[in-house]
Each structure stands twice: as C-alpha cells, then as structure tokens.
Amino acid sequence: MTTILYEHPVFLEHHVPPGHPERPDRLRALNALLEHENFQPLQRREAPIANEDAVTLAHPESYLLDVMHMMPEEGVRQIEADTHASPESLKAALTGIGGAMAGVDDVFAGKADNVFVASRPPGHHAERDKVMGFCLFNNAAIAARHAQKVHGVERVAIIDFDVHHGNGTQDIFQSDGSVLYCSTHQMPLYPGTGAKDETGVGNIVNAPLHANDGSADFRDAVRSRIMPALHNFRPDLVIISAGFDAHHRDPLAQINLVGEDFDWVTGQLMDVAGKYAGNRVVSILEGGYDLEGLAESAGLHICRLMKG
C-alpha cells in the first residue's frame, strides 16, 4: 500500500487557551512517534491551503463570512462555548481542508492507495451553519463533496469512530442519500446527538456505546451495525473521521478502547474499500486528547493504512 500523510507547520499555530485539550502538543506527540523507522516508507507531504470558496462545498457562503469575521487579529478569542481562534486559525482550517481535498485527488489519481491528514482544528462537530466543539469547518464533509464534484463519485461513506458523535457531519448529510454516515460514539455525552433512531433518509447509522464499554462492545457495534450498512451501500470512496478519544486514557470520555482496536477497525474499513472502492481511503484526524493514547492509536491506524 502507498500511504501519503499530509501535514503543515500552520497546524501548530492554531492556538487555544492554556489547559484546553485541543492543543498543538497533540500533533507534536504524533510527529515524535512518526520518527520511528516503521514510518520511513510513509510519504509525508505539506498540505496545500484550500481556497476560501472550498468551504462552500459543505457550508453556506454566509457561514464562511461569519467565521472569517470571528478571527482575531491577535491573541486567542473564544468564538463558541468550547471553540477558540487565534490569528492563524483560519489558515490552519483552510489548510486542513486543502489536505483532505488533496488526499481525495491522490487516491483517484492513483498516487496513493490511502491518505492520512494530520490536521487541526478538527471538523466533525461543525454543522452546516454552526461552529461547535473545537471545529470551524467540516473537513470530512468538504472532502466528500469535493469527491462528488470533481471526481464524479456517486457514493461516499464517512465512518466516524471519534468518541463524540459527529453531529456536524450528520447535520450536513441527513437528507442526502449519496453519502452514508456511520458513527460509533459514547452516549450520553457531548454533543447529545447520535441516537439509533436518528437515521436521516436511511443514510445515517449510529451505533452508540455506553460509558465504560470496552473493546468487545465497540467491535460488536462495528460488526453488527456499521459493516452491514457499508456492504449494502457499496461506497466508491471511504472517508474516516479518525478520532482517538475512545482510548481508555482519554480524559474527555469513558470508553475503554486500546490501540489494537483502532488497528482492527482500520483493517475492517480497508477491507470495505478494497472490495468496493479500489482501496481508496482518506482518513482525517479528529479528536484524541491524551497525548500517549493519541500517539499510540494514531500510529497503529497509520501503520494499518500502510500495510493494508
């Protein structure tokens, strides 16, 4: 397998207040792990910055303008209950979008089998017209729309194993049967969405977990709810909202996964991509707030992408 990783120094320039969990050290911890010899075959590239109009693939122009107006000229500004911005935050967010779109282009051009985008801020809580939960723009949603617009993709599956439900992705696609959204997450927990009966037009599959659930519960949810939906949908592209905060060390939730669970679920999703989507997988970093747990889990996820 050929795997490309997109990164950029600007992702470290999205600043948050001291003590905030979504901090630059998250990427520093991952970068330190990627220096291991196991990752030498990984093709590491600088993510391009997307044009501002790329945001409008999944958000209205009025929302883009609102977010632009929220950006401070100096310091750190709170723009929503949990979400902050600094002078380079808009550039960081647009570069995350650029990396996700470039990843889509790469897998359809045959330059890579799969791609991992090591970006921040994350995106899956950003609704169509609402900043939420550390997120400014919905990277996975924009990548899906880019695949449809530029590459004529008919069916995109977005699988989200972040411990928090991707309310933003569900909000954007809940009336669009061309995109399947599947999520495992702890419930009840922020943001309060993600019940099994939230099904959209038959394209939303939620597999909620309970506090203190572990590996067996997670794997059963994937096998019993998400995998049948994926095989029925037969996606042309698999996008992963790759959050690693269901790790047992993570401070923001109470799910007890271990690194090997992320390796396992990555393999399951790669099997689906191999069967229906020409191996095309684009994985985008979402949450994961314990530095050791994030580095371990994301490292195993990337290793699985590389090995197939």
pLDDT attached to residue 136: 98
Strand pairing partners for 117?
Answer: 6, 284
Instruction: Please check whether residue 129 is in contact with residue 59, taking contact to mean a CB–CB distance below 8 angstroms.
Output: yes
What distances in angstroms separate CA 85 from CA 77, 136, 293, one per listed residue?
5, 9, 25
Whether a cis peptide bond, with omega within 30° of 0, leads into 48 is no
Are 168 and 158 within 8 A, CB to CB?
Answer: no
Tens of pLDDT along the chain (308 residues)? 899 999 999 999 999 999 999 999 999 999 999 999 999 999 999 999 999 999 999 999 999 999 999 999 999 999 999 999 999 999 999 999 999 999 999 999 999 999 999 999 999 999 999 999 999 999 999 999 999 999 999 999 999 999 999 999 999 999 999 999 999 999 999 999 999 999 999 999 999 999 999 999 999 999 999 999 999 999 999 999 999 999 999 999 999 999 999 999 999 999 999 999 999 999 999 999 999 999 999 999 999 999 98
- Amino acid making up residue 216: A
Looking at the DSSP bridge assignments, the partners of residue 78 are 84
Backbone angles phi, psi at 175, to 5 degrees: -110, 15
Domains of the chain and CATH, by start: 3-307 (3.40.800.20)
What pLDDT was estimated at residue 16? Answer: 98
**Which residues is 242 bridged to in the sheet?**
285
pTM for this entry: 0.98
pLDDT at 102: 98
Torsion of CA 194, 251, 263, 185, to 10 degrees: -10
Q: Which of 303, 302, 296 is nearest to 26 (CA)?
A: 296
Q: How far is CA 216 from the centre of its chain?
A: 23
* Active-site hit among 125, 146, 164, 301: 125
Are 184 and 218 spatial neighbours (Cβ–Cβ below 8 Å)? Answer: yes
Q: How many CB atoms lie within 10 A of CB 170?
A: 23
Instruction: Tell me what pLDDT residue 308 has.
Output: 82
Count the neighbouring beta carbons within 10 Å of the beta carbon of residue 101. Answer: 26
Active site residue 125: yes
